[in-house]
């Protein structure tokens, strides 16, 4: 006789463990480095690929290296803003503000982070006014996010 069992804490422990990877200064489990400006982020291919089709394609194509010292250079985003994107990938949470929203929206769109893109659009929509409308329209066109337009 078989019996299916299910842990009541497994999901929470797994999410906590993944979040802890982001702050691990030993980089013991890191297998890819992302260079953004002058800052190097020690990341985890599997975590990036699970959340982002962009990274899945970049990290797991036949031409991709599987070496732990792989380094990918990311342009067009500031390191501080990319740190916020990584926080979202690893934890499902991040902080948006007037200074970072445009860069985070652009990065989320490029990296195909659908949920983060949606949350950025909601953030901007909540701040929509006659004054901000032309700027947000131009931003929507620039980053190709029709939901914002």
Q: What is the mean pLDDT of residues 4-30?
A: 94
pLDDT beyond 70 at 44: yes
Residue closest to 145 by CA, chosen among 107, 103, 109: 109
Contact yes or no for 102/139 (Cβ under 8 A): yes
Checking if the pLDDT of 43 tops 80, the result is yes
Asked if the model's pLDDT at residue 57 lies above 90, the reply is yes
At 59-68, the pLDDT tens digits run: 988 566 555 5
List C-alpha distances in Å: 33 to 39, 43, 73, 136, 139: 10, 6, 8, 33, 30
Residues 64-97: tens digit of each pLDDT:
655 556 889 999 899 999 999 999 999 999 999 9
Neighbours of 134 (CB within 10 A): 9
Protein fold of 10-143: Potassium Channel Kv1.1; Chain A (3.30.710)
- CB contact at 8 A, 29 and 20: no
Q: What is the mean pLDDT of the chain?
A: 90
Q: For 35, phi and psi rounded to 5 degrees?
A: -100, 120
Locate tokens 């291919």: which residue? 45
Q: How many helices (H) and strands (E) does the chain have?
A: 7, 3
Provide the residue ranges of all domains of the chain, joining segments of one domain with +: 10-143
Give the contacts of 68 (CB within 8 A, at least 6 positions apart). Answer: 30, 31, 32
């Amino acid at each position: 006789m078989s019996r299916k069992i299910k842990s009541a804490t497994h999901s929470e422990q797994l999410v906590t463990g993944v979040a802890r990877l982001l702050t691990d200064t030993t980089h013991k489990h890191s297998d890819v480095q992302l260079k953004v400006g002058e800052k190097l982020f020690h990341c985890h291919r599997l975590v990036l690929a699970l959340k982002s089709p962009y990274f899945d394609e970049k990290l797991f194509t036949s031409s991709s290296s599987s070496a732990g010292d792989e380094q990918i250079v990311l342009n067009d985003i500031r390191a501080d803003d990319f740190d916020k994107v990584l926080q979202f990938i690893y934890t499902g949470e991040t902080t948006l503000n007037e200074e970072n929203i445009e860069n985070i929206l652009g990065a989320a769109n490029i990296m195909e982070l659908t949920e983060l893109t949606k949350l950025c659009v909601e953030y901007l929509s909540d701040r929509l006014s006659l004054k901000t409308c032309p700027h947000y329209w131009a931003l929507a066109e620039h980053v190709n996010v029709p939901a914002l337009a």
